[in-house]
Structure formats: structure tokens, C-alpha cells
A and B are shown apart, each in its own frame.
Chain A
């Protein structure tokens, strides 16, 4: 914030000295309202809280039928680390695409833009509840895995955290960009399907790239979610060289930049007339 909170005394109101709002304060105010809305929306709650769990259960059988020898990983390890991807997809991407679209169609975004909150802050503030829930679910996954499923503690917790955070930013940006395809929050859920399907099948969530045919793996490497899924998997299980890690970090960053660019280019703040 520029220091323009002071107003000339005696011009309006009570002349009470005021302190400017902060980025964090504004984002928290929006995030709190968005959390209230999420808690009042049963289908959104179902998707954000239960879908990732359901997906872990459903996709586990898919992983079981794969030949995982080339990966050196067990079914359990693939499933539990792939679950981070489901969390990002359903809690962040799926939910936010529907929420952003609903706010746009209700003219909430347009109204917010007349205030002090910047464009990026509006989108980030609305994403706060999703980000918090996604983080909590990732922590739960690690706790559940290491306490009940005899999995090791994360080998590189720093990498795991970086992967989750990059993933949250990336999928929030992709959600915002994808709202250009939807007119209602219902059609947003349909419009979210292509990226969701492609990511689930191709980004290594239940089918690790190392177990894919060479040509397919090459292609799947450049899908948007692949670098963050690989980073999170390495973060928990270790086993990647520094070069591989840096490559994935770079690829994830490129996708974040592409996502932010797409938002700037295509995001609409008011409904199409």
C-alpha cells in the first residue's frame, strides 16, 4: 500500500485518523467470507473434503494392475503420493473454478474491483480457504501414511512443501484462467473436466511416468501438473538426482508463469452480456 490513508482533516466524516488496510488484511477478509460460503455449500464441501479420499480409494485398484517394477515404488507409495495430485485437483482447481465463476456471475468480482483490493489480491483472497484445506489434507496424508501405513517420514519435507505450494498457485491460476470457458458455476464443473482427466491419467498420479512407455512418458512430462506431482513424490520418497529436481522445479515454475499469463490474458471480471 502507498501511504495514502491520511485524508485532509475536516473534509468528511469524523476526521478520525485512519490506518491503511494491508494486503494480508484484505485477503483475510475475503478469505473469511469465501470460507463461510464454502461451509454453506454442501456440494462444494463434498467435493473438497471427500473427493480426494474417494479418488485415492478408486485409483488404487488402477495402480495395482500396473507393472511398477521400473519405478521401484510400491502400490501404496504411488497411491499415497499421487493423492497430493487429487487434493490439488479437487480442492484447488475444481472448487476454485466453480467459485470464481459464481462470483463473476453474481457481479461480486466487479463490485470488489471498485474497492481498494488489487486484482491479484481478490483472486488470492478467494483462494485462501482452498489453499488452507489443501495444505491440511496434504499434512493428513503424510501423517496417515507414516503412522498407519508404515511409510517413511518425508525424505525432503522442503521439496514436498515447495511442490504443494507451487501446485496450489498453479492450480488456482489455471482455475481462474479456465473460468473463461464457463458461464455458470455448474458449467464450470463440466469445463473443469478436460484438465482434470488429462492430469489424473497423464501426470503420474496413479500411473507413474517411469512405468509408462517411453514415448508416452515424454509427452506426459510436459503436462501442467506433472512437475508438481513429481516434486511432491520426490519430497516424500526421495530418490531423484539434483538435476532431476532442478528440472522439475524449473518446469513447475514455467507452468506457474504460463498460468499467471493466461489469467491476465483471459480472465473476465464481469459476465459476458
Chain B
């Protein structure tokens, strides 16, 4: 087996809706990335960044306007018969006939799926066993998502596409889904997932890409993506003390500082050095740094900086 080989290859991908020219809308504007076998790859982005438009091209639901997609070495649109039996798909919004029961729905899907798991096993995977005879219309939104996941996993796919798999799930069901996805990845399944929950990407992804306005604007392992962003220390000083009273900030490794609402924020790439300097100084001066909070950069900070939400970072 060629472990480590690319399972998904995307280059120069573009997708335009509507007519060419000014009337249409280009949702995907030149996206390239690869996903290796057994890897869990997350596509992040705000709503409208082009994640779903991209994933639909990888799933073979539409033909790209431009560019090239290969899934397991095949064009997923032109060679759908070669690709589909080996992939599992969970759409952002897919549907089931509302008058069928859960078990009937899985049975129907199993009849259309190569090497399908038994119905009972599929339902147990997503903990819907006790809902098997309930009609779809009586399921909660979260239960429908789990049923959708069960169908995506039904054929023991080599490649799994999950478009916002945990949207609408309660925290318990979300963690169940994460455990399931991790277990599948550990068994060698390649997973491509989109999400707008950053902690989900941070918890699951081996590598990720952040999309903005149809382009990938950052990518790598979570550590690499976060690595470019400084850690932050926040605190308030007692009355009568000011930023100018601190030791020289550059000597502490501080890159930038901000002041507002009585609180000070220091940004640094050397959190331990900066924090040690700050705390030693505070002990020498015998002052209390109120509400002291120090944290390394998280994916959330990186994401907000990269994806450029209009709200910015608050302060």
C-alpha cells in the first residue's frame, strides 16, 4: 500500500455559479491542496467562504468551472462509478423521506451501497439503536445529522467527506462524533471535513486550510497555522501604576502592547520569558496584577486574524 500517497489532489480549482462575466458569482477562486492517505484534513472558513462549493466538487456532485480534482486517482465527476463505492459523503444539508423510519432509511441506503454494514451495526455506531423504528419527521436535528453520518459510514469508505458534521449537535453528541471520526482515522480512513467550529478543527485535524472569499489563505498543521501568531498576556495594574512603570518591554520580548478599559495586553512570541519578567517585576514591586491571564495563540486567534471577520479582535 502506498501509505502517505495523496488520496485527494486539487489544483487550480474554480467554481462559478450563473453565467460567466459580471452576472455570475465565483465561489471558488483557484484552490489547490492535497490530502494524504489516512490524514484528517479540515477546511475552515466563515459562511460563504466557499467550503461547501469546494467539497461538492470533490464529491463529484458538480463539474468544476476550471481546475483539476482527483479522488483516489480518479476524476470524481467523470468517473463517478469508480469513485463512489469507495467514498462516504455527509452533505451540509441532505434529506431523507420524512415518512420512512430510521431503519427503513438505512436499509434503503444499504441496498445502494457496496459492502454495506448491517443496519444494526450502522445505527449502533451513531447511537441511534433505540430510535430505529421512529419516523424521520420525528427526529431532532441532531439525530438527523447522526443518521446522515451513519449513511456516510455505511460502506466502510476509504475517503470520508463530512460537511459541517456537528452543526446542530449538543455537546455530548459532538464529542461522540469526534470520537467516531478519530477512530475511523486511526483505522486508516482519510477524512476531509469542513467546520466553522475552530475547536473541532484543533481537536481533530492533522492539517487544515483556511478559506476566505473562495481562496485558501493559510494552511498547514494546526501548530504551523497557530505558530505565526503571538501569545497574549492580559492584566490590570493597581491605581497609580502605568505601562511606563513596567520594565523595558522589548527586553521582555514583547512585540506589541495595547491599553484599554484599565487593562493592558502584551503580545509576545516568547510567552515564558515575557511572563517570567513580568511576574518577577511584580514581586519586586510588591503589586498585584489583577485578572492576570496568559495564553498561547489558539486557532481561534489565528482564524480571526486570517479570515478577517468584520468584528476583528475586539479591543
The residues of A with any CB-CB pair to B shorter than 8 Å are 1-2, 4-5, 7-8, 10-14, 16, 18-21, 25-26, 28-30, 32-33, 36-37, 40-41, 102-103, 106-108, 110-118
* Alpha-carbon distance A221/B161, docked complex (angstroms): 51
Give B92-116 as 1s and 0s: 1 = Cβ < 8 Å from A's Cβ atoms. Answer: 0111111110001101111111110
Instruction: Apart from A7-B156, A25-B112, A108-B97, list 9 A-B contacts with CB within 8 A.
Output: A2-B82, A5-B114, A13-B187, A29-B111, A33-B105, A33-B108, A41-B99, A114-B84, A115-B112
* Alpha-carbon distance A20/B84, docked complex (angstroms): 11
A residues near B114, Cβ cutoff 8 Å: 5, 18-21, 116
B313 contacts partner chain A, Cβ-Cβ < 8 Å: no
B45 contacts partner chain A, Cβ-Cβ < 8 Å: no
Q: Main SS of the interface on chain B?
A: loop
A residues near B115, Cβ cutoff 8 Å: 5, 7, 13, 16, 18-19
Inter-subunit contact A103/B156 (CB<8 Å) = no
Taking a contact as CB atoms closer than 8 A, the residue among B85, B86, B94, B189 that contacts A114 in the complex is B94
A residues near B37, Cβ cutoff 8 Å: 11
Tell me how many residues of B have a C-beta within 8 Å of chain A.
41
In the complex, residue of chain A having the shortest beta-carbon distance to the beta carbon of B159 = A12
A10-B188, A40-B99, A106-B98 given as contacts; is B85 within 8 A of A20 (CB)?
A: yes
Q: Main SS of the interface on chain A?
A: loop
* Alpha-carbon distance A110/B97, docked complex (angstroms): 12
12 CB < 8 A contacts A-B: A2-B82, A7-B158, A10-B1, A13-B187, A21-B111, A30-B112, A32-B108, A33-B108, A106-B98, A116-B85, A116-B112, A118-B80
Instruction: Write the nearest CB–CB distance from A120 to chain B, whole angstroms.
Output: 13
Of A26, A106, A114, chain B has the most CB atoms within 10 Å of the CB of A114
A residues near B156, Cβ cutoff 8 Å: 7, 12-14
In the complex, residue of chain B having the shortest beta-carbon distance to the beta carbon of A125 = B112
B61 contacts partner chain A, Cβ-Cβ < 8 Å: yes
Inter-subunit contact B95/A37 (CB<8 Å) = no
Instruction: Write the nearest CB–CB distance from A61 to chain B, whole angstroms.
Output: 37
The residues of B with any CB-CB pair to A shorter than 8 Å are 1, 37, 59, 61, 80-82, 84-86, 89, 91, 93-100, 104-105, 107-115, 117, 148, 151, 156-158, 184, 187-189
Inter-subunit contact A33/B81 (CB<8 Å) = no
B residues near A26, Cβ cutoff 8 Å: 111-112
* Alpha-carbon distance A12/B159, docked complex (angstroms): 9
Taking a contact as CB atoms closer than 8 A, the residue among A19, A33, A113, A115 that contacts B104 in the complex is A33
A1-B81, A19-B114, A30-B111 given as contacts; is B95 within 8 A of A12 (CB)?
A: no
